[in-house]
Structure 1
């Protein structure tokens, strides 16, 4: 394996995967596809790979088909040391020239921002398919490792799906995700767990937001967080200020941006069900099928089914900065653009920030932690599925919302209920919260839910727990208390 660049933070899995593909000595050219939202470090990874191996890297731009052919001809000539740009009549000649780079050795060839080229010439995926056809001399005699990279998630998601030309041709499909909350805290140097959650609720795990956008300006501690928000995210001179708007502009499938902004604004305002989104927008629920599907395909929202009701689901914005923009910035956008000091505006926005940004994000992190990091001993089994759900209470004619529902998986492929939980960001949790969960567990037991009678009662709070609740939990292993600090500990420390 090639040594990972010293300047690269984490991405060990991605680097190992790419270097394994790029140095594979097997005969025949092969194809890989790399995707991920912008600012995640894909270009850094692929440039570093080409520098370490002597590979060819080319970044496409929005241009006509003819100009793109000229640009890649010039880039390839520079790579080969040719005295003049190579002249290509079509992309078939380009692909064969790229395959020719691998005649004598294994070599990675990267085409970054591939969607730009494919939009100018929709035949390009078919051309690559034909060039990589088995028993074709140019393909069999080459060891080029061709990597197509793009940030337009809807396009990249279709590249290898269904009846797409390249389906079945790729030997690698790598998605570069944002850093998870624990890596993001380490990357930003956020030692205080509450500050780390607040920071993650705004910028998520996108590496470029610290390096390029905030120029390594990080909160020095809990007391500096508000000042940091004012001088970075809420400052019109900071690239972070307009980034949420640009994220939508980067997706070619989002043609009616006003419509999609309205859908995102509805979700950020707490209207997470289809009916609530429709009511917020003044439209019929059936009118939302297309925009919701497009946003989901672009990776900007996710649909999360109710674990107890197959026909009910909620939507969550996957990019924290977009949630922050719609919940906090968009309602006061004009004031933010013209004020000299956003401190007063930020103070006025605290309720929206807590209710619409921090609270939902903390719930999401608690579910994420429970699914991937919580020790099995804490839950009484391995968590197979974690979500949220609503439990009917016929006697009271109401429904009880559960922020965390944990199911396991036994040897008979049944999914026993391992735990039910409640999440609070700003409330100190006490015996009243425990009693509520106890009542809901009794309802689930009465409904004959498998495992409900022994399900753990999970209480998550960033503000802490009362002494009475701590004493009860100390004497009962069926009660689990999780604080913000636990989200950043290793399983052995919890």
Structure 2
């Protein structure tokens, strides 16, 4: 196995997958697809892979088809130490030249930003398909490990799907994700859990935001958080200031950017269902089918079904910086652009920051922690599915929202209810919150929900818990209390 570069933070899983693919000694050229949102370190991974193996790396530009042919001809010639650039008339010749690089040994051959090339020449996926056809000598006599990489999530998602030309041709499909909240805290060097949560709610787990964008400027502690926000995200001289706007511009499928920004603003304002978004925009609900689908395909929003209601769906913004931009920055954008001191604007935005950024982010993070990081047996079994849900209360003619709902999986492949939970950012949770959860559990039991009677009651709070609630939790194992420190334990 190739040693992982010492300067690489985490990415052990991704490195192992790429190294195993690139060094596979089997005969015949193979294809891999690497995707992920921008700034996640894909290029770093692939460049490091090529450096470790003597592979070929080509980064495409936004250029005409002819210019790209000249560029890759020059790059292949440089790789082969050829005295003159190679001249190619079309991409069939290029792909065969790339396959020839693996004639003597297994070698990674990387084409980064592949969507740029395909935009100039839409036939490229078909050309690669034909080049990798079975019983083709150029393929069979090569051990080139072709890796196509791109950040345009909508395009990369279609590359291997449905009736796409390359469907069935790839031996590797790797999506490079953002760092989870625990790894992100380590990467940013933030040790205080509450500060780590706040930082993660703004910049998420995107590695480049610390190194290239903030130039390693990290909060020195809880008292430095506000000053850090002012000197990085809210400073017009910082690349982070306009990054959320550029993320939309990076996606080729987002043509009507005004509509997409408005949809994201509606979600950031707390309108999570289609009807609420439509009311915010002053449009019909049916008008939103296309923009919501495109934003989902681009990875900018996620669609979360209600765990108790099949016909109810919530839409959530997947990129924290986009949420922060639309909830905090966009309403005062002109003022932010023209002020040298955004301190007063940041102070006035605290209510939006807590209600529209921190609260929803903590809810999503608690669901993720429950499914992937909760201690063994904390909820009686391993959660197989975690989401949010709405429970009807017919007697009181109302409904109750649950921020965390965890299901297990029994021997009969049924999904017993393991836990229900509530999440609060700035509110100390007490016996009143416990009584509400107890009431909801009784409703679910009465509705015949499998496992509801024994479901644990989980209280998640960034502000802590009253002594009375803590006392109850010490004697009742069905009560689970989770604070910031637990999320990072």
Which residue of the partner structure matches residue 445 of structure 2?
A: 445
Structure 1 residue 340 displacement after superposition:
1.1
Distance 2:108 2:187 in 1: 29
C-alpha deviation, 1:382, in angstroms: 1.0
Distance 1:166 1:87 in 2: 26
1:140 aligned onto 2:145: no
Q: Does the 8 A contact of 1:29 with 1:99 survive in 2?
A: yes
What is the match of residue 409 of structure 2? Answer: 409
Map of 2:181 onto structure 1: 181
Note the alpha carbon deviations across 1:28-87, whole angstroms, 9 max, x for none.
Answer: 000000000000000000000000100000000111111110110011111111111100
Distance 1:53 1:377 in 2: 44
**What is residue 474 of structure 1 aligned with on the other side?**
474
Question: How many aligned residue pairs are there?
Answer: 489
CA contact 1:376–1:383 (8 Å) conserved in 2: no
SS in 2 for 1:332: helix
Please state how far the C-alpha of 1:213 moved relative to its aligned partner.
0.2
Is the partner of 1:377 in helix, strand or coil? coil
1:229 aligns to 2:226 (yes or no): no
Aligned to 1:123: 123
Equivalences for 1:379-418 in 2 at 5 Å? Answer: 379-418=379-418
Q: Tell me if the contact between 1:193 and 1:488 (Cα under 8 Å) persists in the aligned partners.
A: yes
Structure 2 equivalent of residue 162 of structure 1: 162
Could you tell me the TM-score, scaled by structure 2's length? 1.00
Q: Partner of 1:458 in structure 2?
A: 458
User: TM-score, length-normalised on structure 1?
Assistant: 0.99
1:321 corresponds in structure 2 to 321
**Does 1:24 find its partner at 2:24?**
yes
Partner SS for 1:57 = strand
- Give, in angstroms, the shift of residue 376 of structure 1: 3.3
| RMSD (Å), alpha carbons | 0.5
Distance 1:487 1:208 in 2: 24
| Matched residue SS, 1:66 | helix
Aligned residue for 1:445, secondary structure, equals helix
Matching residue of 1:111: 111
**Displacement of 1:344 after TM fit?**
1.0
**Deviation per CA, 1:294-353, whole angstroms, max 9, x where unpaired?**
000000000000000000010010000000000000000000011110111111100000
Query: Aligned equivalents of 1:445 and 1:49: distance in 2?
Result: 54
Q: Secondary structure of 1:7's match?
A: coil
Q: How far apart, CA to CA, are the structure 1 residues paired with 2:128 and 2:43?
A: 21
Q: Which runs of 5+ in 2 are unaligned?
A: none
Aligned to 1:250: 250
String of CA shifts for 1:256-286, please: whole Å, max 9, x gaps. 0000000000000000000000000000000
Conserved 8 A contact 1:251-1:298: yes
Q: Is 1:47 matched with 2:47?
A: yes
User: Is the 1:28–1:139 contact (alpha carbons within 8 Å) kept by the matching residues of 2?
Assistant: yes
Partner of 1:241: 241
The DSSP-based 3-state class of the residue aligned with 1:130 is helix
| Paired position in structure 2 for 1:368 | 368
Matched, 1:342 2:354: no
- Please show how residues 27-106 of structure 1 align to structure 2 within 5 Å: 27-106=27-106
Match of 1:492 in 2: none
> In the aligned structure 2, how far is the partner of 1:465 from the partner of 1:414?
34
Which residue in 2 is equivalent to 1:201? 201
Distance 1:383 1:482 in 2: 16
Cα distance in 1 between the residues matched to 2:16 and 2:384: 27
Q: CA deviation at 1:375?
A: 2.1
Task: Answer whether contact 1:300 1:318 (CA < 8 A) is retained.
Answer: yes
Deviations 1:410-439 (A, max 9, x none): 010000000100000000000000000000
**CA–CA distance in structure 2, aligned partners of residues 363 and 226 of structure 1:** 22
Q: Secondary structure at the match of 2:311?
A: strand
The 3-state SS of whatever aligns with 1:205 is coil
